[in-house]
Structure 1
Amino acid sequence: MSSDTHRVAILVYDGVKLLDVVGPAEVFGEANLLGAGYRVDLVSTTGADVASSMGMRIAVDCGAAAAADPGTFLVPGGDIYPRTPVTRDLVEAARDLAGRSGRVASVCSGAFVLGATGLLDGKRATTHWKIAGELAARHPRTRVEPDAIYVRDGTTYTSAGVTAGIDLALALVEEDHGPDVSREVARSLVVYLQRAGGQSQFSAPLQGPPPRSPALRRVVDLVTADPTGNHSLTELAGHLNLSTRHLTRLFREELGTTPARYVESIRFDIAKSLLDQGHTATRAASLAGFPSYESLRRVFARELAISPAAYQRRFATARRARAE
């Protein structure tokens, strides 16, 4: 084994979400085509194969105790947590691997496994927005950031749900091999190198019932995946080979809004997240896809009856209060 090899141990278990495993693994594998030296080992508590949440069997390389010391130790998520307590054998395996690794990471509800080991005590962390409250309640010594795509605290990394594991893996590749390699990996996998905003841009539009129309579901997916793109009524209609009148009617009947207002609402959520992260209002407006600061200010006045700057000050005050 080359001294340049970086071992990545992924701890899998019955009920693990398959994309949480293969998403990061594909990032590391793609980086290897560009000269990286990652070796991904799938590890279980006993060395036995496991079944994913969709029933697909996952072949395991070895048990946790037999695994070589990893440079990166990653715990993927699964629907089983946080519905049930983390099992003792999984906690012990995670604690052992974490103690022998250079850095520790989790995807989605994998943060509950790290939390059960005590590894998140006194640290910042994130998980899927739907279960962030449960993580905070179960681990009060952890400062949960529910809107983050991923969080780094020292050598501990946690990420949001499912595809955010890809964002996290790209960040790890960039840390190891620089931005050029991570950028090429992102381009090869046709994913964003760094998504603007936080989880709110994904959670907010999905809180209502999904559209019935397959065409409208495609529009929702398109806007949610790339909220800063050109999503004018004409552009959206062209993607679906529909008339602008028909698309407008679909939005009105199924979502109770217009295409323009829907796009604006997503950009509004992104702008709020960027302000929360400390960006200036002008920068937040630009990154969120607003044509100007003034257009963002008008939306804030309509939705919250305050300016972006006032919102940012209020958020900062609330954050300091929570920290105290």
Structure 2
Amino acid sequence: MLELRRLHAFVAIAQEGHITRAAERLGMQQPPLTRLLQGLEAELGVKLVERLPRGVRLTTAGQALLEEAHAVLERAAGVAEVVRRADRGEQGRLGIGFTSSAALHPFVPRVLRRFRETLSGVSVVLEEAGTGELMDALVHERLDAAFVRSPLSGTPGLQVVPILSEPMLLALPVAHPLAQEPGAPLRLSALAGEGFVLYRRRVGLGLYDAILVACREAGFSPRVVQEAPRMTATLSLVAAGLGVSIVPASMQRLRGDGIVYRALSGCPGLSAPLHLATRVGDNDSVLRRLRDMVAEDAASEAVHPPLP
């Protein structure tokens, strides 16, 4: 395999037409440069230069090598730049997952758009799935990061970083009596007799538990009449009149027909967190850039909340 330093030396000699001047250009002594040339000739088994009274000139073999040497050195420089870009987190591939409710929070599409605009050399693969499916994809390295609502407690090998938290709202069928009342916050205890539509616990995890705890603290156990496979599917069931639900405030962005949203009171601990989940110890440079960007945007949002 040809050594790049020998090719660099040969190109300098060919361009200068003089070994001493080539040595000066390369910042080295003439004898070591001569040895590099001789080593290259020995490796290839051909004479590459002819000595003249004042300098050297390329042989036919030397001319052929010069054309190839330029291409090889240019390609080598390109490879080095690719490696440096990857080390800076500017090139590579990143698999990012998100739950349907997480994707509805404006923070997630905003940070993904900024990531793609800033790091155009990174190939981003996106996947929407339930929390359990995303956790499995992270553990088995099919994804590198995921925006989730659950803190993922008890999942070995995974870690979460809290990003932000938003209030949860009551979702009502438009014909429900409570939907006809003024829009003042409704006490959670007023829902004691209602049938609830909730997302399955293995999908909602932390949010499902938070709703149960908040209801019990308000003095009742919720009567769950229907469970949905996705958080977004709960709204279709609410619109169909099957019951009421409690969902993250950002889900209002769906603007589904037949649904009215009301703020809740008397439940100070009821909120919907957003987390970034990754594997423990995964310090890939591209992933670091995503983490940094998420942290920057979360800090900015805490100081300057976006307008509703």
Answer 1 or 2: which has greater strand percent.
2
- TM-score, normalised on structure 1? 0.25
Query: Greater CA radius of gyration, 1 or 2?
Result: 2
Q: What TM-score, normalized to structure 2? A: 0.26
Q: Which has the higher contact order (CA 8 A, sep 6+)?
A: 2
